[in-house]
Chain A
Amino acid sequence: MFRFDVYIPRDLRDALEALRIYGEEMLPIGGGTDLLVLYRQGLVKFKTLLDLWPLRSNLSYVKLEGGLVRLGALTTVEELESSELLKDKRFAGLKDACRTFATTFIRSLATVGGNVGVAHPLSDIAITLLTYDASVRLRSLDGERVIPLKNFYLDKRKTVKKPEELITEVFFSEPPNNASSVFAKLDRRVGHGMGYVAVGVYAELDNRLVKEVRIAFDSIGRPFPERALRTEDSLRGKELSEDNINRAIYEVLPKEMSRINDYRASAEYRIYLSQVLLKRALLEVGRRIGGE
C-alpha cells in the first residue's frame, strides 16, 4: 500500500501507547528525510506513521548538564549546528558533521534520533557520536533502556530497538578540555555528497601524548557505522606523531577494515581513502586541541 494513515500523538506517553497498540504496522517518523525516501521507492511498508514532530516541545534540546552532553532525539541537525554547545572546540567534529550534512533544507528536518535510527553507513551524526562513545536512551511503556551506540546496530537498517520503543535521547560524558574531534567525508563533487568514505575522530591529548582516541567510520566491514578499535589501540598512549599515525593507518587499519565494491567506488579505493582521511583527521584533531 502506498496510502497510509498518520497518528498525531498528544505527548510521549500517548505516542508509546500508540506504538504498543499498532505494533509493527506503525513506524515513527522524525524528519522523514530517510523514511519518506525509502517509502517512495517502495522499500518500507507500514500502515500508519507515528508523527514524532509534536514531541519536539520536549525532545528537541542540546544540553550540558551534570557532566553529560544530552541531545534530544528530535533535535534537528540545524538546531544542533547552531547550538551554543557547538561553539566549543571540544565538539568541533559534531560541527563538521552538521556543516557538511546534506543541504540547508534537509538539515532543518533531519533529526539526531533519526540519524541514529537509520542504521546505515551514511549517517554522519551517528558516526561522530560513536567517537564520543555516546549512548542511546530508549523509552517504551515498559520503561527505559540505555544502549551504548556501539552496541546499537545489528545490521543494515536493523537495531536493537524494539518496534514499541522510541529513541528519546542520545548522550555522552562531557569531554575534558584537552579534547576535540573531527569529522570528514569526501565524494566526487565539491558540493554536497554522501561520501565514498566518512570518518570521525575524537582525541584527548596531553601535550602530544594520546590519552584517549576514538575513531569511527561509516563502515569497517559491516553495513553500519563502527569504531576502528584496533587502530585506536595502536595510537592510545603514543605520541600523535606522523610516524605513529602512518603506522596506524598503513599497518593496523587495513587489518581491521574491509570494504565493498559497488557502483560508486571500489573497495581498494575506499580503503585507501579511509587511510588518507583518517590521517588528515588525526593531524587536524591535534591542531584543534593545540588551539591552532
Chain B
Amino acid sequence: MSKVGVSHASWDTYRDIEISFKVNGKEVKVKVKPYERLIDVLRNKLGLVSVKGGCGRGECGACVVIMNGKLIPTCLTLAVRADGSEVLTLEGIAPEGKLHAIQKALLDTYAMQCGFCFPGVIMTSKYLLDKNPNPSEDEIKEVLDGNLCRCGSYLRFVKAVKLASKYINEGKIFFDESEVMR
C-alpha cells in the first residue's frame, strides 16, 4: 500500500491571528485562522468539547455559549470575534465538583437522554435565568424554542427550568455532586 506524505509548511498560506479572551474565567491566548469558526477553536484548540456541533447552520442550538452576556451560536461566529471577549461554556458554569442549579434540576427531573443537546439547553436556560429568575412557562418555551432535542426531553426542560428558578430564589445556586439523587 502506498503511503502518502505531505510537507507541512507548504499548503497553509493563511495567516495566523492571535486572539486573547477570557474563557470560563481564565485568560487565554490562541492563534486562529481568519476562516476558523469559534466552535472549532473552543473544541479543538481549547478542549471545550461540551460545545457540540449539530448543524453548523445556526439551526439546532447545540453549540451555543454565552459571550459577553449574550447567547450566541458558535457555529456562525468567526473565532476572531472572540478577541477581547468573555466566553462562558458549560465547563465553566459551576466550580469544580459542583453543579449549577439548572444542572441539578435537570437531574432531578430525570431529563437525560442522549445528552447531545444538553450543553446548549443548559447554556440557554442559564442565560434565561440570569436575565429572568422567575420565568413563566411561556417564557421558558420562548427562549428554548431554538434548542432542538430529538430525543424529546422538552417537557422536562420546562419543569427543570422552573425547579432551577426555585432553587435560585432560595439562594441555592450551586450543589455538591453528592447531593444528586441516585
Contacts and interface: CB of A to CB of B under 8 A. Distances in A.
Contact of A104 (B33, B35, B145): B145
Given A3-B33, A3-B35, A105 B14 contact: no
B31 interface: no
A32 B142 CA distance: 23
Interface residues of B, number: 28
A37 interface: yes
B146 A103 contact: yes
Contacts of A33: 58, 76
B151 interface: no
Contact of A105 (B17, B56, B146): B146
A206 to B, nearest CB: 35
Contact of B34 (A6, A31, A36): A6
Contacts of B33: 3
A191 B145 contact: yes
Interface string A187-198: 000011000000
A103 B80 contact: no
Contacts, number: 74
Interface size class of A (residues with CB under 8 A): 20 to 34
Contacts of A4: 34-35
B76 A37 contact: yes
Interface in B130-154: 142-147
A18 interface: no
28 contacts: A2-B35, A3-B14, A3-B34, A5-B14, A5-B34, A5-B35, A6-B34, A6-B35, A6-B78, A6-B80, A8-B80, A37-B57, A37-B58, A40-B56, A51-B78, A51-B80, A78-B70, A102-B58, A103-B61, A103-B145, A104-B144, A105-B61, A105-B73, A106-B73, A108-B72, A109-B73, A109-B76, A109-B77
